[in-house]
């Protein structure tokens, strides 16, 4: 007789999110902690290898944002070689990045977050997913899948591989883009644009009909960080780091090579994720947010027309100042998604995109290199030290989810204060805490260097430390 075998997850080693809520003497939530209990030493694994291997190795950190890791790595290698990539190499890198950002944002919105919005926070968790969405609104689910597929297809056509991106190399890209591939991608953009606009319509409709919830959901002010290009335009690939305060005032705008002067990290005893903060403001006041909301709040403008119109409408929600509240990560994500499609069109229309001059070549000319880029979840840094034979002696990866860690903790606290009442964790409270984390679309694989999904295990403690209740969502 056959025995039953659990095949899900078959291989995944889970990045486990544990949340603890602590009541005060007044029986209200006073503290909340988002614990990450696993750690893998990816940096240590890289030490002793040749730096030129890194653009191929680092995509294996994570299957969700491999292009970002490969790109940051290739840029660090550019710096070690003191090499300027060819113009076509830059166009292709930007193309790959826009494709990955589109794929990641589409996945986040259509498949992870929109079921909460369209089926309701209190819908049965077993059906509050893309299958439930497929049953209720199949046309939306199909468009979401096709948008994600287009983003993935950009990588596939650039590199021949979907996940293990092998195209990024020091000095540019390894492969040119064919005219056939360019045409095939361009043909899909009109439909993709419509899907992005549809998604924005869905989200804006939700905000209109849930104004009180949206305005209060994990609402707190903070500084923001994003990469900006000329005239403060949001840029995924390159530019300067810009921190703004909660009112939009520029706190610092510096080349990414100076990141260590402005970002410090502190270890906390309850999590393996460090607490990064904006050094000039100190630990208590310096936690900042990255990712879609960080970028859109830090930028002055978008460089494409449709995204710019959405950007203006978005910023008008708070009189032109940064817009606060975890829920608005979704809104910013969709503006970026629209920007991705416009950016893909701009890049694919550039006659230089199919040139075969894709890579400049060089050799080691420096002992240190810093590569930076915007990953879907926020600003990413790869920092390498090498010896004079090109062997890596020190590697530091500063990951977006790590930078959002203090904000995620704050978001969990705010939601718990609002929805946890008494000594039990209700289904509604668990759902909303789960969604608060989902707003940040965290990638625990990157940040802890462990593969996996994110089951949530939440405990409620009394002021005396007694566990009052526990709830789990796998």
Partner 1 sequence: MAGILVLGYGNPGRGDDGLGPALAEAIAQRDFEDVRVVTAFQLGVEDACALKDYGAAVFVDAAVEGPEPFFFREVGPGDPASFTSHSVSPAGLVGLARDLFGARTRAFVLGIRGYSFDEFGAPISPPAQANLEAALAFLGARLAAGGGAPALAQGAAVAPAG
Residue numbers of the site for partner 1 (CB under 8 A)?
2-3, 5-13, 40-42, 45, 57, 60, 62-64, 66, 103, 107-108, 111-112, 129-131, 134-135, 138, 141-142, 144-146, 148-149, 152, 162-164, 441, 443, 445, 449, 451-454
In the bound state with partner 1, the residue whose beta carbon lies nearer, of 163 and 193, is 163
> By C-alpha distance, which of 80, 69, 83 is closest to 381?
69
Rounded Cα gap, residues 284 and 141, in angstroms: 42
Q: How far is the CB of 74 from partner 1 (least distance, A)?
A: 18
Cβ pair 446, 400 in contact under 8 A: yes
Token pair 């025995």 is found at: 3
Q: How many CA atoms lie within 13 A of 407 on its CB side?
A: 37
Verify cis geometry, omega within 30 degrees of 0, for the bond prior to 310.
no
Rounded Cα gap, residues 406 and 397, in angstroms: 18
Q: How far is the CB of 99 from partner 1 (least distance, A)?
A: 12
What pairs with residue 253 in β-bridges? Answer: 242
Rounded Cα gap, residues 19 and 36, in angstroms: 9
Rounded Cα gap, residues 30 and 394, in angstroms: 40
Q: How far is the CB of 153 from partner 1 (least distance, A)?
A: 8
Question: Residue 385 to residues 182, 209, 346, 393: CA-CA distances in angstroms?
Answer: 37, 52, 36, 6
Instruction: Kindly state the helix (H) or strand (E) to which residue 253 belongs, with its residue range.
Output: strand 250-254
Phi, psi of 233 (to 5 degrees): -70, 135
In the bound state with partner 1, the residue whose beta carbon lies nearer, of 322 and 452, is 452
In the bound state with partner 1, the residue whose beta carbon lies nearer, of 65 and 332, is 65
Q: How far is the CB of 424 from partner 1 (least distance, A)?
A: 26
In the bound state with partner 1, the residue whose beta carbon lies nearer, of 60 and 210, is 60
Q: How far is the CB of 388 from partner 1 (least distance, A)?
A: 24
In the bound state with partner 1, the residue whose beta carbon lies nearer, of 188 and 462, is 188
Q: How far is the CB of 163 from partner 1 (least distance, A)?
A: 4
In the bound state with partner 1, the residue whose beta carbon lies nearer, of 110 and 328, is 110
Q: How far is the CB of 43 from partner 1 (least distance, A)?
A: 10
In the bound state with partner 1, the residue whose beta carbon lies nearer, of 15 and 322, is 15
């Amino acid at each position: 007789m056959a025995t039953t075998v659990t095949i899900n997850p078959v291989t995944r080693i889970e990045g486990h999110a544990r949340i603890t809520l602590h009541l005060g003497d007044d029986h209200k939530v006073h503290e909340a902690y988002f614990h990450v209990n696993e750690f893998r030493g990816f940096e240590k694994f890289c030490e002793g290898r040749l730096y030129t291997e890194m653009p191929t190795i680092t995509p294996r950190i994570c299957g969700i944002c491999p292009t970002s890791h490969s790109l940051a790595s290739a840029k660090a290698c550019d710096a070690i070689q003191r090499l300027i990539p060819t113009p076509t190499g830059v166009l292709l890198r930007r193309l790959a990045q826009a494709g990955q950002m589109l794929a990641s944002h589409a996945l986040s919105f259509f498949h992870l977050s929109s079921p909460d919005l369209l089926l309701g926070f209190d819908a049965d968790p077993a059906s509050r997913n893309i299958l439930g969405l497929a049953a209720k609104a199949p046309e939306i689910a199909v468009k979401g899948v096709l948008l994600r597929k287009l983003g993935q297809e950009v990588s596939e056509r650039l590199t021949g591989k979907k996940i293990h991106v092998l195209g990024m190399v020091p000095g540019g890209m390894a492969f040119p883009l064919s005219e056939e591939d360019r045409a095939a991608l361009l043909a899909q953009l009109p439909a993709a644009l419509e899907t992005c606009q549809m998604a924005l319509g869905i989200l804006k409709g939700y905000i209109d009909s849930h104004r009180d919830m949206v305005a209060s959901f994990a609402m707190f002010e903070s500084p923001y960080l994003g990469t900006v290009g000329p005239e403060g335009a949001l840029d995924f690939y390159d530019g300067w780091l810009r921190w703004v305060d909660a009112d939009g005032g520029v706190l610092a705008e510096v080349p990414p090579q100076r990141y260590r002067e402005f970002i410090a990290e502190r270890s906390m005893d309850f999590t393996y994720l460090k607490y990064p903060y904006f050094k000039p403001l100190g630990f208590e006041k310096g936690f900042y947010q990255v990712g879609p909301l960080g970028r859109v709040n830090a930028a002055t403008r978008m460089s494409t027309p449709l995204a710019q119109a959405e950007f203006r409408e978005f910023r008008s929600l708070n009189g032109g100042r940064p817009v606060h509240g975890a829920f608005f990560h979704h809104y910013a994500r969709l503006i970026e998604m629209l920007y991705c499609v416009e950016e893909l069109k701009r890049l694919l229309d550039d006659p230089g995109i199919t040139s075969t001059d894709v890579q400049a070549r060089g050799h080691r000319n420096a002992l240190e290199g810093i590569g930076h880029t915007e990953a879907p979840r926020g600003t990413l840094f790869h920092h390498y030290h090498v010896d004079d034979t090109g062997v890596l002696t020190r590697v530091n990866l500063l990951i977006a989810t790590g930078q959002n860690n203090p904000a995620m903790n704050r978001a969990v606290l705010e939601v718990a204060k609002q929805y946890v009442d008494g000594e039990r964790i209700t289904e509604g409270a668990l759902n909303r805490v789960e969604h608060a984390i989902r707003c940040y679309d965290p990638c625990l694989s990157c940040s802890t260097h462990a593969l996996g999904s994110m089951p949530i295990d939440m405990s409620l403690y009394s002021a005396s430390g007694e566990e009052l209740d526990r709830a789990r969502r796998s």
